[in-house]
Amino acid sequence: MPHAIAALRRRLPDAPCTLLTQPTRGIVKRLLLREADLGLSLHDPHHADIDCQAIAQGKIQLLAPHGWLQPKQKYISLQDLAGQSMVGLDGHDPLSLALEHKLHALRPAPVIHTRVQTHQMMRSMVEAGEGLALVDPFTALGARTAELDTCPLAPAVPISLYALSLKNAEPSPAAQALLEIITEQAVAMLAN
């Protein structure tokens, strides 16, 4: 987001912008109350009054402390997480619930002592030594600069980045420009 806002500022220097971090249900509420023009989420809220557009697709990634993965390891099996200490996501979206179900089916099941609300918090917890985490590809890309190990699960678990807006609402020029910038940057990040 910081790079997208900077690009928006170059394109529209006087456009006001307020960024908030909220769960998807909070984004939906703000859109419905017309307190926001655009939201980004990793899942479709399936709400009749919300337009939901997939703007980029990637794969769920494992975050691990530096050196936990073998050098040049290309992927990790879900079974390799059996019995591991992990950070959990306190989410109720379909993807979080499906991953939680898959983890609990492992024998022995991973040990999850800490749950957080965002993938960025999961990254911070891995950095602090709280265990492993399964995160979106954008969080994983940022984690590489923190010298964390990352790799996708195999078989792959797809995840999409969605743009949320109020149905039948005309987007402001700034919101439309920001969405174009975010889409371009997200696709480029995942292509690398």
What does the chain come to in residues?
A: 192
**Mutual orientation of helices 2-11 and 173-191 as an angle, nearest 10°?**
130
Domains 2-56+160-191 and 61-156 share a fold: yes
Report whether 170 contacts 38 (CB < 8 A).
no
| Residue ranges of domains in the chain | 2-56+160-191, 61-156
The reported pLDDT for the residue numbered 95 is 79
For residues 86-114, give the mean pLDDT. Answer: 88
Closest CA relative to residue 123, chosen from 110, 141, 98: 141
End-to-end CA distance of the chain: 18
Tokens linked to 104: 């609990």
89: alpha, beta or left? (left if phi > 0; alpha if psi -120 to 50): beta
CATH among 3.30.70.20, 3.30.470.10, 3.40.190.10, 3.30.870.10 for 2-56+160-191: 3.40.190.10
DSSP symbol at 132: B
Q: Which stretch of 19-23, 141-145, 167-171, 184-188 has the lowest confidence by average pLDDT?
A: 141-145
CA-atom Rg of the chain in angstroms: 18
**pLDDT higher than threshold 90 for residue 109:** yes
For residues 147-154, give the mean pLDDT. Answer: 92
**pLDDT higher than threshold 80 for residue 91:** no
The reported pLDDT for the residue numbered 144 is 74
Q: How confident is the model at residue 41 (pLDDT cuts 50, 70, 90)?
A: very high
**pLDDT higher than threshold 80 for residue 92:** no
CATH dotted code for 61-156: 3.40.190.10
